[in-house]
Amino acid sequence: MCECCEKSDLSKLTPVFEAFAGDDHALISILQKAQEIYGYLPVDVLYAIAEKTGNSPAKVLGVATFYTQFRLKPVGKNLILLCKGTACHVNGADSIEKALVEELGVGDGETTDDGLFSIKTVACLGCCSLSPVMMINEDTYGSLTPAKAKDIVRKIREASK
Q: Which residues would be at the binding site for another protein (CB under 8 A)?
A: 24-29, 31-32, 59, 62-63, 66-70, 84-87, 89-91, 122-131, 138-142
Contacts of residue 10, defined as CB under 8 A and 6 or more positions apart, other chains included, come to 44, 45, 48
Residue closer to another protein, measured from CB, 43 or 81: 81
> Cβ 139 to another protein, closest distance in Å?
7
> Cβ 88 to another protein, closest distance in Å?
8
Residue closer to another protein, measured from CB, 31 or 104: 31
Q: How far apart are the first and last CA of the chain?
A: 27
Residue closer to another protein, measured from CB, 4 or 36: 36
> Cβ 136 to another protein, closest distance in Å?
11
> Cβ 64 to another protein, closest distance in Å?
9
The rounded distance, in Å, linking the Cα atoms of 147 and 144 is: 8
Upstream peptide bond of 15 is cis (omega within 30 degrees of 0): no
CA atoms within 13 A on the CB side of 91: 18
